[in-house]
Amino acid sequence: LSALDVVNNYPQEELEQIFWKYGEERKGRTIAAKIVAQRRNGIVKTTRNLTEIIQLAVSPRFINKTLARIYQAIRIEVNDELGRLRKALEKAFNCLDRSGRIVVISYHSLEDRIVKDFFREKERDCICPPEIPQCICDKVSELRILTKKPLQPLELEIKQNPRSRSAKLRAAEKIVEYQESV
């Protein structure tokens, strides 16, 4: 899958969905419609072509943020970044011995949400429905979250390294022994 495939072959509804889901872009519907309309005149070949289409849909005041969100959404779709992150978290967790620690730095809210949800899922000890008065699932908590809220860079670090601005660090410790899945 390439960005060229996404931009030129995805139906409008699917483009809207990835722009919202992966870019959290509010103008995704308008941008997707403009892309599909442009495709009737020929394929969108370059990032310049795509940027020009997006500029038709968005106020110049918001263009830089919008471009960043749209290109992020396309990149995440092409590379399956969120799916790979989920798999990597599971593999990393399975490699840990008891008391082993997993530390993850995320750079945008979608990644951070996946890490947070993964840690919370592993921390839960009962997954029985609330209407069942007594636990019958025998699930035990597998890790302890060490950072209830993500750690973020201090102003000094941001001044020294502006790219750290959006970084969020989460950490957890494994509290059960490794068990092979059956």
Nearest-Å Rg of the Cα atoms of the chain is 21
Q: Which of the listed CATH numbers 3.90.1260.10, 3.40.50.150, 3.40.50.300, 3.40.50.700 matches domain 81-174? A: 3.40.50.150
- Rounded to an integer, what distance in angstroms lies between the CA atom of residue 133 and that of residue 44? 58
CATH number of 3-79: 1.10.150.170
Task: State the span(s) of the chain assigned CATH 3.40.50.150.
Answer: 81-174
The answer to whether the beta carbons of residues 135 and 128 sit under 8 Å apart is yes
- Rounded to an integer, what distance in angstroms lies between the CA atom of residue 46 and that of residue 4? 8
Query: Which tokens is 63 given?
Result: 């263009």
What string of pLDDT tens digits covers the 182 residues of the chain?
999 999 999 999 999 999 999 999 999 999 999 999 999 999 999 999 999 999 999 999 999 999 999 999 999 999 999 999 999 999 999 999 999 999 999 999 999 999 999 999 999 888 888 888 888 888 888 999 999 999 999 999 999 999 999 999 999 999 976 555 54
Task: Please report the pLDDT score of residue 182 as a whole number.
Answer: 45
Task: State the span(s) of the chain assigned CATH 1.10.150.170.
Answer: 3-79
Query: Which tokens is 118 given?
Result: 């993964």
Sign of the four-CA dihedral 80, 57, 13, 4: negative
The answer to whether the beta carbons of residues 7 and 31 sit under 8 Å apart is no
Give the residues across from 145 on adjacent strands.
172
- Per residue in 60-84, pLDDT (tens digit) is 999 999 999 999 999 999 999 999 9
